[in-house]
């Protein structure tokens, strides 16, 4: 069965950093587009960052310059390095992969608060 499992979330203070990981299994990872989404309380789920098979990366305006998405095809893992975190980054973060098929992770909480 295809599966995506997020890790690396937690509680940090504003200005600090976290790195999220998404480990994939049961899929052709190198042929899949990957992305991170997030959903804050009372808000719709939004695209945070994407990394595509052609090498292009895209970021939401709210995180550009602070977040970096990357992938390690040998490890079947996609990462989201989050620097200079702000309280408005607080959300459940979800990993997504697609290539005709579509697969979501379970989500992981990131809380930025003093």
pLDDT confidence of residue 1: 83
Q: Give the residues of the chain that fall short of pLDDT 70.
A: none
Beta bridge partners of 12: 112
* Contact assessment for residue 111 and residue 18, using Cβ atoms and an 8 Å cutoff: no
The maximal CA–CA distance of the chain, rounded, in angstroms, is: 42
Say which residues have a Cβ less than 8 Å from residue 38's Cβ, sequence separation at least 6. 45, 46, 48, 89, 91, 92, 93, 94, 110
Secondary structure (3-state) at 58: strand
Average pLDDT, the chain: 97
């Amino acid at each position: 069965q295809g599966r995506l499992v997020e890790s690396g979330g937690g509680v940090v203070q504003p200005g600090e950093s976290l790195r999220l990981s998404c480990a994939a299994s049961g899929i052709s990872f190198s042929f899949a587009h990957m992305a991170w989404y997030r959903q804050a309380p009372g808000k719709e789920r939004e695209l945070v960052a994407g990394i595509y098979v052609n090498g292009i990366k895209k970021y939401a305006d709210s995180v550009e310059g602070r977040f970096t998405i990357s992938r390690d095809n040998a490890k079947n893992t996609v990462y989201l390095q989050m620097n200079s975190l702000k309280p408005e980054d607080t959300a459940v973060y979800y990993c997504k992969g697609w290539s005709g098929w579509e697969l979501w992770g379970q989500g992981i909480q990131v809380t930025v608060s003093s």
